[in-house]
Structure 1
Amino acid sequence: MTDRTRRALEFLTDHGWGAALRRPLADDASFRRYERITLGKSRAVLMDAPPEFEDVRPFIAVARYLKEQGLCAPEILASHIKDGFLLLEDMGDDLFVKILGEDPAQEKALYELAVNGLIKLHESSAPEILPAGDEIHHSLAHYDMDLLLEELGLFTDWYMPALTGKPLPPQDRETLADLWRDILLPVTKDLDCLVLRDYHAENLMLRAGHVGLAQLGLLDFQDAVIGHKAYDLVSLLQDARRDVSGELEQEMLNKYIRDTGQNMPDFSRDYAILGAQRNAKIIGIFTRLYLRDGKADYLDKIPAVWQLLERDLQHPALAPIRRWLKGHISGKTRVQAFLPKSFMPQKAMILAAGLGQRMRPLSAHRPKPLITVAGKELISWTLDGLCAAGVRDVVINMHYLADQMIDFVDKYYDHRLTLTLSDERDQLLDSGGGVKKALRYLGDDPFFILNSDMIWQEAAVGVQGQMLPGMQAFWEAEDMDILMLLVPRDKAFGYDAAGDYHRDTKGRLTARGGAPQADYVYGGIMIIKPACFKNSPDGPFSLRQQFDQVEKSGRLFGMIHDGPWYHVGTPQARDDVEDIVIKCQDG
């Protein structure tokens, strides 16, 4: 029995369901899992949302709000917020998608019911903050320009590179983002209603024995935000998982516009814009699910989503996007199934074997990478960033208090990453020697090397996207042997030295040398070719040898990080960074 399984059983036992029969229900694209719980004639649903990945508080808060608005979300029978368990009312098996598979004649009636649910929801303006329990609240994000563009980054940063195996050039990404900014303006104004975001046939239920809106059961709404009224209508009528005819789509769109008194031209424009944004996002999500999460089930849906996107692109407001896509993605590519090509280095090494002398006394009984910041080990911050970028295999070297590193790896929770330990217990090999010993695990292609005593955060939405994919987009194998992450010296938290490198306009680096200062600090992350270790010595040596060697050949480059970066090298720095991170998490 795993620790997670034991905790679930304890939760059920505490609430009188320990002896219940348990049957898995369908998983979704997240890390949440569901089980039907049966005890005699009583039934319920267990939501298992591992807190490392999911937070149940938004579900609780939004469910309460929906019920207050006269809509039917599952009753929450019991909860353990810290462990990520909810016991929910069992609303049955009659999902819209199931009913329509058995009786297509009900399609119009079910979609009218769903549209009526949106009309009811949109009668009230959503508050900024929703209660989720005693002294627990959930703040609703806004579906504003930043969030819409962030989601569109899934298309440019995952789907586009997966077509060719190469990241989209930064200038192309910037051009497309600028086009979207102009087009999205109308749908970022006067945002006031709750948007459930996944309002479609697989998340809507027909509740037997009820009439009117009481028939409509709502599921999967924990990602709700405050946004535009057209968004959930798009989600319903342009369903990535179920074909909805153009005729029914237009009939339901007209019904919503008529029943709510919307301006037909303006609302139809906004509907098309949000449809294009959502469908582009979904294409990116389905690609990421394969490349990052190893889920191939969604790939064959991409051509159908392309058809929905092309339908939206026919609106005149989207002509600039239609022209850009025509110049970059052929019609044949859009309609055929494809196997995404990996565009990121698939392997990385984290340097974690050091003694952590400057971190004492915190490191007296714990390796520095396992010291926590805001409840998470330093190395876990790095691993989460690698996983988010699609890296699959990570090598970690160990020496000091190695048994703790072994225990950490054995219990590591994210199945998407394969962790391999490189054992330096017999001899500490320094940074260069440690990497050289691990080359047998890292293969023949360029890979990441990361320090384990820094935390980075992504820049605001812009042309670069996530930092690690941004490095890959900057990487030019023909010209570079090493690409370093650089942090402007005056923005490097926890760093008080004179700087490491000068950088020319093309990104080529030269060491500070005898100069009193350099503008940039090495940020503890690089892409490097294995060939850099050819003719390197055996035993301990510093990566400084590779840096100097590659610099002399003119093949050492650097990319500037635009977001926050924190060096966590001392107990005081740990405390300071923890305060910053907690404030960011609290909004």
Structure 2
Amino acid sequence: MKALIFAAGLGERMRPLTDHTPKPLLPVADTPLIEWHLQRLAALGIVEVVINTSWLAEQFPRQLGDGSRWGLRLHFSHEGPVPLETGGGMYNALPLLGDAPFIAVNGDIWSDFDFARLPSTLDGLAHLVMVDNPEHHPRGDFILGQDGQLRDDGDAPRLTFAGIGLYRPSLLQDWQTVIGDVQGSDAVPPRFKLAPLLRAAMALEAVSGQHHAGAWTDVGTPQRLQQLDARLRGTGG
């Protein structure tokens, strides 16, 4: 199995920290955010990891090399000066990811989630890791049913998508049917969000999920980065 790390964002909410450093390369407890993911993916036995890049893209191979220090082979999927959003970024990386299910993780989160807890087989089109709603996102994203299926409709409490998932490439096969005339969807390569495709797949009961009750942080602001750094230094990670 291969893995994709989303690392192409502009990091606008993290400025001025991201003026000269891409957000996934910002250090927490002396280790860049993205390297925490690389360590855990390597521990799972993953060998090939694709990293999509845009903002300050040249810093990633300079910092990470070829991945050999973790026993990995890194491939960089450059998106140009304008990021392609999550859907476009995943679609653009498919030639490097192949035809089998793959793991995808946001490069700007930190979690103690063990990737070995992901299912060994994928019955539907996607499987998402969900977490309790943080203070900055109290409404959550999706409903995790007792049957393990994720849904976008209903009155049950919602959980927040952790930015960790398992995907089939076929999730993006008919992306234009779902995305339609969204601005940028006719660009080459196309630029579109992944969430509409996930919601369409949920309507077909093709997206499963699991709840992670452990540590998780969306490192979206300098304050959250500082808090995470202090917590990891205090607990040893």
The structure 1 residue matched to 2:130, chosen from 486, 493, 499, is 486
The answer as to whether partners of 1:500 and 1:512 remain within 8 angstroms in 2 is no
Which is strand-richer, 1 or 2? 2
Separation in structure 2 between the aligned mates of residue 357 and residue 497 of structure 1, nearest angstrom: 22
**Contact 2:110/2:217 (8 A) holds in 1:** yes
Identify which of 146, 165, 171 aligns with 1:532.
171
Residues 229-308 of structure 1 aligned to structure 2 (within 5 Å): none
Partner of 1:470: 117
Distance 1:558 1:476 in 2: 11
Which structure shows the bigger proportion of residues in helix conformation? Answer: 1
2:94 partner SS: helix
Partner of 1:550: 201
Supply the distance in 2 between the matched residues of 1:505 and 1:526 (Cα, whole angstroms). Answer: 19
Name the CA distance, whole Å, in 1 between partners of 2:66 and 2:4: 19
Q: How does 1:146-185 map to 2 (within 5 A)?
A: none
State the Cα deviation string for residues 475-512 of structure 1 (Å, max 9, x = none): 442xx2110001122xx4x6433111111111111126
1:169-205, Cα deviation, whole Å (9 max, x unpaired): xxxxxxxxxxxxxxxxxxxxxxxxxxxxxxxxxxxxx
Residue 410 of structure 1 and its aligned partner are, at CA, apart by 2.1
Alignment partner of 1:501 out of 124, 131, 142: 142
In the other structure, the counterpart of 1:511 is 152
1:535, CA displacement in angstroms?
A: 2.2
Unaligned runs of 5+ in 1: 1-345, 459-466
Report SS of the residue matched to 2:118.
Answer: helix
Structure 1 length as normaliser, TM-score? 0.37
Residue number among 80, 85, 102 corresponding to 1:447 in the alignment: 102
Structure 2 matches for 1:323-342, cutoff 5 A?
A: none
CA distance in 2: counterparts of 1:367 and 1:555, whole angstroms: 34
State the Cα distance separating 1:389 from its structure 2 match: 1.1
Alignment length, in residue pairs?
225
Please, which runs of 5 or more residues in structure 2 have no aligned partner?
A: 177-188
| 1:107-152 CA-partner distances (Å, limit 9, x unpaired) | xxxxxxxxxxxxxxxxxxxxxxxxxxxxxxxxxxxxxxxxxxxxxx
For 2:70 and 2:39, locate their aligned partners in 1 and report how far apart those are by CA, in whole Å: 12
Matches within 5 A, 1:312-461: 346-410=1-65, 412=67, 414-458=69-113
Report SS of the residue matched to 2:119: helix
Q: CA shift at 1:382, angstroms?
A: 1.0
Deviations, residues 43-82 of structure 1 (Å, cap 9, x unaligned): xxxxxxxxxxxxxxxxxxxxxxxxxxxxxxxxxxxxxxxx
Q: Deviations over 1:201-254 (max 9, x none)?
A: xxxxxxxxxxxxxxxxxxxxxxxxxxxxxxxxxxxxxxxxxxxxxxxxxxxxxx
Match of 1:244 in 2: none
Cα distance change of structure 1 residues 415 and 563 upon mapping to structure 2, 3 Å threshold? closer
User: Normalising by the residue count of structure 2, what TM-score does the alignment of the two structures yield?
Assistant: 0.88
Amino acid at match of 1:471: L
* Offset, 1:530: 0.5
Change (3 A) 1:348 1:411: closer
- Distance in 1 between the 2:53 and 2:138 partners? 28
Secondary structure at 2:10 match in 1:
coil
Partner amino acid, structure 2, of 1:505: Q
Q: CA RMSD for the aligned pairs?
A: 1.9
> Higher relative contact order at CA 8 Å, sep ≥6: structure 1 or structure 2?
2
Per-residue deviation, 1:423? 1.0
For 2:118, the aligned partner's letter is: M
**Secondary structure class of the residue paired with 2:49:** strand
Counterpart of 2:223? 572
> Could you say which residue in structure 1 is the equivalent of 2:161?
522
